[in-house]
Chains A and B, each alone.
Chain A
Amino acid sequence: MAIPEPPPARPSPAAVPAVAGVPAFAGIPAVAGMPVRPARRLGGWLGLLPMAVLLTAAFAVPVVSLLRLGFGDGGLSFEHFRRIAEVPLYRSILATTLTISALTTLLCVVLSYPVAYLMATVGPRLRAVLVVVVLLPFWTSSLVRTTAWIVILQGNGILNKLLMGVGLTSEPVAFVYNLSGVLIGMTHVLMPFVVLPLYAALRALDLSTVQAAEGLGAGPATVFVRVVLPLTAPGAVAGATIVFMNAIGFYITPALMGGPAQTMISQVIADNVNRELNWGFAAALSTMLLGATLVIFMLFQRAFGLERLFSGAGTARSGEPFRLTSRGRSAGGVLTVVFGLLVAVFLIAPILVVFPMSLGSSPFLSFPPYDYSLRWYVNFFETSKWFNALIRSLQVAGLTVAGAVVLGTAAAIGLGRIPARWRTAIETLFVLPMIVPVIILAVGLYYLFAPTGLVGTIWGLAIGHTVLAAPYVFVTVRASLKSFDPSLELAALGLGASWATMARRILVPTILPGILAGAVFAFITSFDDVVLALFLTNIRTRTLPKLMYEGVAHEIDPTIIAAAGLIILVTILLMLVNLLVTRRRA
């Protein structure tokens, strides 16, 4: 078993270029005080309309109709909630969910400090490598990651062979199908949410404050505790909040990497729909999960603002940024670097082991393989179920990208043209699909689509994926619109261009990087999704991740590893495209 799902909120591309040393879109203030003319305003509402319709029909309606089931068929009943509160099994599942999420959050924060420190104090080239190392797990399909972890961690896996080889242990250690498996899998995927804001906070730290503390007699440890920690804490807390919010809704990772004692609330929801057919109870659990998620989201928005969710950036820096000075590192600094490098290995290892393993020729997984061949890749393309699943995934992703790009871009452009007092509310509503646990949307859409015949078609799945993906496009285009100088629009209109011509010749080319970045996110959101595919496809329409899931849940065979290798290649390719797009812009 294996694999974390795509987290509801990946760090946006805005965060990526910021870290990579390329100017981010964020930070340039929106045009303030620019009055909105009536025609412009009408156009703004029109731009928002299509996405609003989609989100109402395929997000709000399914989620709300699902949640309603939790309160009884006829009148208002709290029967299901009473059962959750009274049955010890369910109480312990809630406790497990919170405990695992809290531990994951703690691990993410503790492990992120050394990595962020490392990123802030190395040269630009190594920093770029570290950024890729941090982000690649994030961009990689949850199934690929989980598959790789299982291969590394299982009883006869790579890690145990290594430990027994050097004599550290004589018996295989149980790393997976228990608490450590879940924590490893979840920390691995959620860490970027803390590393990136923490790195930004470190860079925003004025070096002279550190030097002032040293001049006043503080040693390295004191400087860290009294200066660095308090100044970077807001960044860490912001990241930790996002981690926790995502963690409580995790489904695939605990399902594949945990044991029965690590059952989390999402699994119980899925179980009640799939096996118990107890929709009401699943709905009651969903209500609790959604309620908790939204409360955390609202607290986050209160404390840090919505912007922070996407930019990851901290405060603007005034003086020279925190960096390594010519004095070199203290002993503690050296230790931190070593630890940071170990964490970096932890982040990249699962992705690295996939390639050599997929190139083996034996039907048994081995690392490193005894001899190399393309046998399993050939097998992948020659086996119709694999090949068909790949084609289906690409079809769904294509539909999703088209839909998400059109809706998300129109909505982003529209948002800037409506009166300012509406913007925050609409922006918040439009990013909700990134926040709400995917399992709730999956079950809700399943409930809504089942009578319509959309379940088992690529259309139903594409609609679901568009709900997940359009917010990404919306956010990335919003970000790039912030650097679009509104007088360019006025200049074009003043020179005689109609609005449509202006949009085609001036607006869209200027914000194209944002649109492309959004398209890349949309593609990956669709291409990697397992949870929606589990509920909305059947044996004839299953996508590649769903087919892999079925394989991983039983036994990992080398073709799955080859599929994982292919997906990683696609991911790296898309990451490069995204990097080039944002680079060219700068």
Chain B
Amino acid sequence: MSLTQTGKPVALRGLVKSYGGAAPALAGIDLDIEAGSFCTLLGASGSGKTTLLKTIAGFETPDRGEIRIGSRDIAPVPVARRNIGMVFQNYALFPHLTVARNVAFGLEMRKLKRAEIARRVEAALALVSLDGFGGRSPRELSGGQQQRVALARALVIEPDILLMDEPLGALDKNLRQAIQVQLRDLHRRIGATIVYVTHDQEEALFLSDRIALMDKGLIVQVGTPQELYFRPANRFVATFLGECNLLPAPSGRGEIGLRPEKTLVGGKAAAADIRLDGTLVSAVFTGTGYRIAATVSGRPVTALVANDDPAAMLAPGSALPIGYMIGHAMALGD
């Protein structure tokens, strides 16, 4: 495949960007992204993730800080010369150009020979399984197809890095999952460095090599999906990524986080390291098992149990022992 490319590493140092409001959009960002890795900027809206992406792309100028791609500081490099691929949230396909001309655009800007352009456009469309769609107008394509054209257009220039701004946001759920699988395969095959913005935590967990979780213009924690899920730096990370019960720490100081699937109830709680007295609120059948909602001294606790667990058969209001193994408790810093 001619589009196999070696992505470049990205290093961000002390990026600050303010629009003059009270809180800066970027309040000092440091981040290293390995060459060829898939890094997701995850956060709620207003967390600064899109601003960060646009700053890397060069559509925004940081007030302070450094952006290095490979060995080169790109701060002084104009957008047109950065060699960055970008997939926009709304795809931003040129409506007056055909699919093929859209994909060819970046190559024409690089003054490639016509035959070379044709060859590469064809390869790029094949890569995203859109062979034979070159003559169509973007309007004639479905949302998923448009998305893939945007991807092909960004990849065909063999960018140093590929930036994606919530590219699946406009698609329905089934299509989104199908494209997530394709995207992950594609990344494995071409080895580009990808910086991906999303607010969807499941998407982030599924796609990423590393996730940078953002809040209020800062990166709260960065690490592999497993690190963020099992060793959250603080309460914000624990509750943002997956469900998390918050319980008083056995030491009496602060809180610990406990995932519902690690929360033991009823008979199983008897063998746990830590045991607490709880009350059943409800047990809801979810197909794979039951979702138990309980309270422990006023705090809500959720547990996932198997279909045959006797705790699911108790009447709401019954006493329900709750427990966990000390190794599953996640220390939450503050």
Contact = CB atoms under 8 A, between A and B. Distances in A.
A488 B94 contact: yes
Contacts of B140: none
Contacts of A501: 109
A496 B96 contact: no
A495 B92 contact: no
A6 to B, nearest CB: 32
A492 B84 contact: no
Contact of A495 (B89, B96, B153): B153
Nearest to B17: A35
Contacts of A230: none
B90 A496 contact: no
Interface string B82-114: 111110111010111000000001100110000
B80 interface: yes
Interface residues of A, number: 20
A495 B93 CA distance: 12
Contacts of A35: 19, 60
A37 B57 contact: no
Given A485-B90, A506-B94, A494 B60 contact: no
A38 B92 CA distance: 23
Given A509-B96, A510-B96, A496 B110 contact: yes
A495 B61 contact: no
Contact of B105 (A487, A497, A510): A497
B59 interface: yes
B153 to A, nearest CB: 7
Given A487-B88, A487-B92, A509-B96, A492 B59 contact: no
Contacts, number: 62
A52 B118 CA distance: 45
A500 to B, nearest CB: 11
Interface string B187-222: 000000000000000000000000000000000000
B326 interface: no
B59 A490 contact: yes
B86 A494 contact: yes
A35 B51 CA distance: 10
Contact of B106 (A37, A38, A485, A495): A495
A495 B81 CA distance: 8
Interface string B31-57: 000000000000000000000000001
Contacts of B186: none
B141 interface: no
A362 B105 CA distance: 64
Given A35-B60, A490-B59, A496 B157 contact: yes
A485 B60 contact: no
Contacts of B96: 509-510
A310 B70 CA distance: 51
A494 B109 contact: no
Contact of A490 (B83, B88, B157): B88
B5 to A, nearest CB: 16
B80 A496 contact: yes
A493 B83 CA distance: 10
A424 interface: no
Interface string A459-485: 000000000000000000000000001
Contacts of A498: 80
A348 to B, nearest CB: 36
Given A37-B61, A510-B95, A493 B80 contact: yes
B79 interface: yes
A511 to B, nearest CB: 10
Contacts of B90: 485, 487
A491 interface: yes
Contacts of B57: 490, 494
Nearest to B59: A490
Contacts of A509: 96
Contacts of B58: 494
Contacts of A485: 90, 92
Given A35-B60, A37-B60, A497-B80, A492 B94 contact: yes
Nearest to B95: A510
Given A35-B19, A37-B60, A501-B109, A496 B92 contact: no
Contacts of A487: 88-90, 92
Interface in A121-175: none
A539 B58 CA distance: 60
A496 B81 contact: yes
Nearest to B57: A494
Most-contacted residue by chain A among B81, B83, B85, B109 (CB, 10 A): B109
Most-contacted residue by chain B among A38, A493, A495, A501 (CB, 10 A): A495
Contacts of A506: 94
Nearest to A37: B61
A226 B84 CA distance: 61
Interface in B1-47: 19
Nearest to A487: B92
Contact of A491 (B60, B61, B81, B88): B88
Nearest to A494: B86
Interface in A482-528: 485, 487-488, 490-498, 501, 505-506, 509-510
A495 B88 contact: no
A493 B92 contact: no
B109 A496 contact: yes
Contacts of A496: 80-81, 83, 106, 109-110, 157
A490 B89 CA distance: 12
A17 B19 CA distance: 38
A495 B95 contact: no
Contacts of A497: 80, 105, 109
Contacts of B83: 496
A28 to B, nearest CB: 13
Contacts of B61: 37-38
Given A35-B19, A485-B92, A506-B94, A492 B105 contact: yes
A509 B96 CA distance: 7
A562 to B, nearest CB: 42
Contacts of A510: 94-96
Contacts of A493: 59, 79-80
5 contacts: A485-B92, A487-B90, A488-B94, A493-B80, A496-B157
Given A494-B57, A497-B105, 13 more contacts: A487-B88, A488-B92, A490-B92, A491-B94, A494-B86, A496-B81, A496-B83, A496-B109, A497-B80, A497-B109, A506-B94, A510-B95, A510-B96
Interface of A: 35, 37-38, 485, 487-488, 490-498, 501, 505-506, 509-510
Interface of B: 19, 57-61, 79-86, 88-90, 92, 94-96, 105-106, 109-110, 153, 157
